[in-house]
Amino acid sequence: MHLEHDPAMRDAQRSAPDPTAELRKADATRHRRVTADGLAARFGGRWVEVSGGPESRASDREAATAAALTEGHDFIWGATLPRDPRSGRRGTIDLLVRSGAGYVPVLVVRHKVTDPGTGARTSPLAELDHVGGRPDSARKVRPQPRDQLRLAHTRRLLQAAGFADERSAFAGVIGMDGDAVVWHDLQAPTWPGGRTALAEYDSRFADRIAVATAAATGTPALAEPSRIVECRSCPWWPVCEDALVKTRDVSLVVRGEDAGMLRSAGVTSVDALAGIDPYDTDVPLVGMPVADAVGLARAWLADLTVVRRTQTIDVPRADVEVDVDMESFGDAGAYLWGVLLSGADIGEPRGYRAFVSWEPLPTDDEARSFAEFWRWLTGARKAAADRGLTFRAYCYNELAENRWLLASAKRFAGFPGVPRKREITQFIESDEWFDLFGSVREHFLCSQGKGLKTIAPVAGFAWRDPEAGGENSMRWYRDAVGLDGDEPVLPQRTRLLEYNEDDVRATAALRAWMTSPAVHDIPYVGDI
C-alpha cells in the first residue's frame, strides 16, 4: 500500500508476475464465466450482465451498473459500482442480487468455502435470491477472511450509492463446488474479540488510507518492509529485499509474528539475533525455538544454506525402497504418480516408472492411473513381505501426497482398482510411509527454506531442466494436454515425466546423503 502510493517508487523495478498466481487467476476467471453462464440460463430475463469488458472505461462500466441498479434487475453480473467520492472507495463485484428495496453482493470464487459439518447458512443456486438462506446440516463455514472483507467493501459501496439492503447485512459466496451460496452475516460477531466483518473492514480500510496518504504526501511513513510468506509472490519484493538486506533486518531469517516480537524486544537485525545466548533470554517466539532462530541467523551470516541442527542424523532405511512423487494441477486432480524402485530384488524392474493420465483434468481417466499406481505399490509391498524383506516408501512433504491419496480414494470410490479410504489411511499411518521432509526439519536449519529444490542440491543432486519447479510444471501441463483448446504439445509431456523422475531421484539422493558420512561435512550449528 505504501509503495504503490509513494511517488519515488513510480519507476522502481518490480518482479515479473508469479506464474502460479497467473494460472490461478486464469482458472478463477474461467470458473466465474462458467458459473455466470449457468446462472444466466437458469434465470433468463431476470439476469443482466453489465456490458463492457476489462478493456472498457471504468466510468462507462460504472454508468452501466448504475443504470441496471436503477432499473431494478433481479441479478446483475459483472458490476462496477459507482465510486464513493467521500471515502475514495471503488470496486467491482461478481454478482448483485436484489433483496427488498436494495441489493446484496455475491462473490464467485475458485476455492472451498465450506467444510463438512453444520452451521453454515446456504441456499441452492436455484434459490439464489433467498438471501440469508437456511441453516445447513451438512456444511460449516470455512474461514476465508479475504472473502468477507471483499464483501464488506462492496456493502459500503452499495450503502454510499443508496442501493444496499438495510434490513440485514447478508452477503454471499459461491465456491468452487458451485452448487450453493454460502451466506455471511457481516454484522455478526464472528471475528476475534467479538468483532464483526464490517468493523474489521472499516478498521483495515482506515489503516490503509492512512498508509497511502502518508506515502503520497511525503509525511513520515506508517509502513516499513518486513518479510512474510506472501513476499515470494509480491511484485514489490525486489524493493523490499534491497531495503531489508541493507539493514540486515531480522525478518530475513525469522518471519511474520516472530520478527515483530524480536523487534519489540530490541532485536532488529540478523547480527543482533546471532549474538543472543539462546539459553539466557526471555524473548518469546511462536514459530520456532529461540535456539533455532539464533542458529538460522548465524547460518545466514556465514552464507550457509544448511547447517546441522543435531550432531547425528537418523533416517530409517529398508531393504526395498520406493520414492514417490505426485503431480497435480491445482485442485482439478492428480494426473501423475511417479515411483523409483531401488534396493533388493523383488522381481520388479528397478528404476523409475510413471502412472499418468494425459486426458485434461478433471477426468475419470485419473481413476485409472491412480488405480494402476496403487496396484503397483501394493504389489511391491507384498513382494517384499513375501521375501522377508523390509519395505519403505518415501516422499518429500507428505501433505500433498496424502491429500491426493485420500481425495482420489474418495472421488473415485467404486472405480475398478481404486482402494477404499481405510486402506489408504492404514498405509499413511504405517511405518512403511515416510516423509523425508520431517527428517530435514528435525536435523537441519535451512536459511533459504526447506524445499526439495533448495535442499537436494546440497546433497549434490541437480535437475536436468533448468526451469524445474512446481510453478512452471503447471504451465507445461496446460500445453501437454491442450487445456486451452490448442493441440497437445507432446514434448511437454516428456518434460513433465523427466521433471517427475528427477523429483523422486532427488529424494533418493537426499536420503542416501543424509545416511552417509558426507553429511558431517555440513557444519553443526553449535560450532558456528
DSSP 250-304: GGGTS-HHHHHHHHHTT--BHHHHHTS-TTS-----SSS-HHHHHHHHHHHHTT-
Residue 40 within a domain:
yes
Considering the domain boundaries, does residue 310 fall inside one?
Answer: no
pLDDT of 327: 96
* Domain presence at residue 288: yes
The distance of Cα 450 from the centroid of its chain, to the nearest Å, equals 17
CA nearest neighbour of 200 among 222, 97, 208: 208
Choosing from 303, 334, 349, the residue where a domain stops is 303
Q: DSSP letter at 1?
A: -
Q: Looking at residue 500, which CATH number applies to its domain?
A: 3.30.420.10
Domain co-membership, 421 together with 447:
yes
Domain shared by 43 and 155, yes or no: yes
Indicate the residue among 172, 205, 238 that finishes a domain.
Answer: 205
Q: Tell me which residue range forms the domain holding 158.
A: 2-205
Extended strands (E) in 4-120? 47-49, 75-81, 91-99, 102-108, 114-116
Which residues sit opposite 444 in a β-bridge? 308
- Specify whether the CB–CB gap between 297 and 277 falls below 8 A: no
Domain annotation covers residue 373: yes
- Shared-domain flag, residues 234 and 178: no
Reading the chain (528 residues) residue by residue, the pLDDT tens digits are 999 999 999 999 898 877 667 777 888 888 899 999 999 999 999 999 997 655 678 889 999 999 999 999 999 999 999 999 999 999 999 999 999 899 999 999 998 899 889 999 999 999 999 999 999 999 999 989 999 999 999 999 999 999 999 999 999 999 988 889 999 999 999 999 999 999 999 999 999 999 999 999 999 999 999 999 889 889 999 999 999 999 999 999 998 889 999 999 999 999 999 999 888 878 878 888 899 999 999 999 999 989 999 999 999 999 999 999 999 987 789 999 999 999 999 999 999 999 999 999 989 999 999 999 999 999 999 999 999 999 999 999 999 999 999 999 999 999 999 999 999 999 999 999 999 999 999 999 998 888 999 999 999 999 999 988 887 898 899 999 998 788 999 999 999 999 999 999 999 999 999 999 999 999 998 888
The helix, strand and coil proportions of the chain, stated in percent and rounded to the nearest 5, come to 45, 20, 35
Is there a single domain that holds both residue 250 and residue 388? Answer: no
Whether 527 is in a domain gets the answer: no
261 and 381 assigned to the same domain: no
* Domain shared by 346 and 433, yes or no: yes
Are 410 and 334 members of one domain?
Answer: yes
Asked if residue 333 and residue 299 are part of one domain, the reply reads no
Q: Give the pLDDT confidence score for residue 53 in this predicted structure.
A: 58
Grid coordinates 451460496 are at which residue?
181
Statement to judge: residues 271 and 157 lie in one domain: no
Which of 303, 331, 352 is the C-terminal boundary of a domain? 303
Do residues 336 and 428 both lie within one domain? yes
Q: How many structural domains does the chain have?
A: 3
pTM of the model as a whole: 0.77
Residue 221 domain-assigned (yes or no): no
- Tell me: do 386 and 293 sit in the same domain: no
Q: What is the pLDDT of residue 526?
A: 86
What sign does the CA torsion over 267, 270, 274, 275 have?
A: negative
My answer on whether 77 and 195 are in the same domain is yes
Q: Is position 406 within any domain?
A: yes
Asked whether residue 36 is assigned to any structural domain, the reply reads yes
Distance CA 447, CA 340 (A): 29
